[in-house]
Amino acid sequence: MKPLKNVVPLVIIIAAIITFWLKPGINTASHKRYTRIYENTDQKKSVNDTTKIIPVRASSQVVTVPVKKKYKEESIDLENISKLKSSMFSRSVHFLPELTDSLMEDSVNYVEIEMEETPIDSTNALSKN
């Protein structure tokens, strides 16, 4: 393949795409605002132990629907395009800023309870009754 033979049609195709399809200044977006919502994807589904059968009355059954936690919501306003942050285009930073906050909310507080060993006086308890 001779390179010049390939260059000419490619230049024609590129020029055609720009002038007829891209149409700079003419083919502009009609919508003014884009919003992207980032959700928590790290939450793992809890697996129920199917081997255990727990009798539950129908009236007391509560169906819990897991609610997805929103990490953040970012909007780009095309009117203020100069305020666009570069982080909007980086996938690596999507989860970082709010991750610590959500983890703080989700964290389980473990409280140590000191158990004092006190002998149970069964005879006294029975005698009272």
Partner 1 sequence: MLPLLFWIPVVFFSLLLAHNAMLYFAHGGEYGILTEKLEARKDLLWNICFYIHLPSGVVCLLTPLYSFSRRYFKKGINQHIIAGKIYLWTSLLLVCPTGMYLALYAKGGVAAQAGFMAQGILLAYFTYQGYETIKKGSALEHVHYMIRSYAAAAAVLSFRILHILFFVLKVPYQDNYAISQWLGLTLNLLVAELIIMITLTKNTSTKTQSL
Which residue ranges make up the site for partner 1 (CB under 8 A)?
A: 1, 3-4, 6-7, 10-11, 13-14, 17-18, 21-22, 24, 27-31, 34, 39, 41-42, 78, 81, 84, 89, 91-92, 95
Are 45 and 66 in contact, with CB atoms under 8 Å apart? yes
CB of 126 to partner 1, least distance (A): 59
**CA atoms within a 13 Å half-sphere pointing along the CA-CB vector of 92:** 1
Smallest gap from residue 23 Cβ to partner 1 (A): 9
| Secondary structure (3-state) at 89 | helix
- CB of residue 33 to partner 1, shortest distance in Å: 12
Closer of 21 and 110 to partner 1 (Cβ): 21
Do 34 and 74 contact (CB within 8 A), yes or no?
no
Judge whether 77 and 32 are in contact, CB under 8 Å: yes
Minimum distance from residue 56 beta carbon to partner 1 (Å): 30
Q: Which residues pair with 38 in a beta bridge?
A: 72
Closest to partner 1 by CB, 13 vs 103, is 13
Q: Please say which residue, 34 or 103, places its beta carbon nearer to partner 1.
A: 34
Closest of 44, 57, 40 to residue 96, by C-alpha: 40
